[in-house]
Amino acid sequence: MAAELRYLVAVFLEKKLYFCYAHKSIGYNYLKKIKMALALNAEQKEILKIFKIEEQYVIPAYQRPYSWGYDQCFQLYNDLIKSYKAKEDYFIGNIIIARSEANKDTLEVIDGQQRLTTLLLLIKVLYVFEPKLKVLEKILEQEDWEGTKTKPRIKSDIFEAKDGVNLNNVLNYNKEQFEKRIIECKDKKGKFSKNKFKSRFERNANHNPIA
């Protein structure tokens, strides 16, 4: 596990991951009306520049719930490790965001929430095992301007599957809670049982190659 941790920490900190990041300073209601028929400002961004920002990402209520399963998460994980070992850059995918009209401190995720959320869950696992790496903490949380209060880097307003509550619960896990849930979610043979996980967020965070 130590070797995998070193690889993954290096992957994030050595800036070898890229998103195509498209953004527009408009509200999501307008985006829904025109169905994305507009010119967006697109740029390639490194992973740290995606997460180490002043704003909080918000998954709007109209989006579909988080749906990635183990196979998709494991494929992403393997791709990250392979690209690092091969000393190659890795293109993760597209993110389309809109700056909220109601709150200038939030960025509404129009597209790319599955990868964005899964990467944050992976970073959470890394931070649980490597709490000395404060840069990971800064990725996970958004500080207010006084530096006295924090909020999760990603917030979900999707109420259909209780995504907001379930995501927040996992992002607030400490190491003891994390290890406890790993034990509780395994069967007598030591294998993970899908039915024991409280949510997809918890399953993808605990059912993890480095957990």
Q: Which amino acid is at 130?
A: E
> What is the pLDDT tens value at each position of the chain, 211 positions in all?
445 555 566 565 554 555 555 555 544 444 444 444 444 566 777 777 788 888 899 999 989 999 999 889 888 888 887 877 787 777 788 888 887 667 778 888 988 899 999 989 988 988 888 888 888 888 898 876 666 678 899 999 997 789 999 999 999 998 899 889 888 988 888 888 888 898 999 988 886 655 5
Euclidean distance between CA atoms 187 and 178, whole angstroms: 17
Q: Is the dihedral of CA 184, 190, 191, 193 positive or negative?
A: negative
DSSP 37: -
